[in-house]
Amino acid sequence: MILVAGPYRSGTGDDPRKLDANVRAMNEAALSLFRAGHLGVTGEALALPLLEAAGSTRPGDAVYEEIFHPVAEQLLARCDAVLRTGGPSEGADRMVERARAWGKAVYTGLDEIPAAR
């Protein structure tokens, strides 16, 4: 299981179209991982529905802060590796740092990932 970590809010000004584009890019990477025999996952896939259910009204509100990054951190703990995608992102960089500290593999491109068994 490989966590796809890329920008979500970074550089978007919280524009919903740009946020959606960032999620779409991470989902496309997760799909490529799946087609290569891995399970690619994103924190957004788990966190965004929870944010909606919890009543978050905008990125960065109190509910967002309570849920968004903690979900990704809990997911990372269960992953074998991280694929860092996209441009600048403090949150994605934090996932990479944690993954390295926990001894997990970190990749920066799909071509670096070993074939699935």
Query: pLDDT per residue over 49-66, tens digit each?
Result: 999 999 999 999 999 999
Q: Which helix (H) or strand (E) holds 105?
A: strand 105-107
Q: Are strands 2-5 and 40-41 parallel, antiparallel or unpaired?
A: parallel
Question: pLDDT tens for residues 67-98?
Answer: 999 999 999 999 999 999 999 999 999 999 99
pLDDT at 97: 98
Check pLDDT > 80 for residue 12: yes
Average pLDDT, the chain: 97
Domains and CATH numbers, the chain: 2-111 (3.40.50)
Residues 6+ apart with CB under 8 A from 6: 22, 25, 26, 29, 84, 85, 86, 87, 89, 92
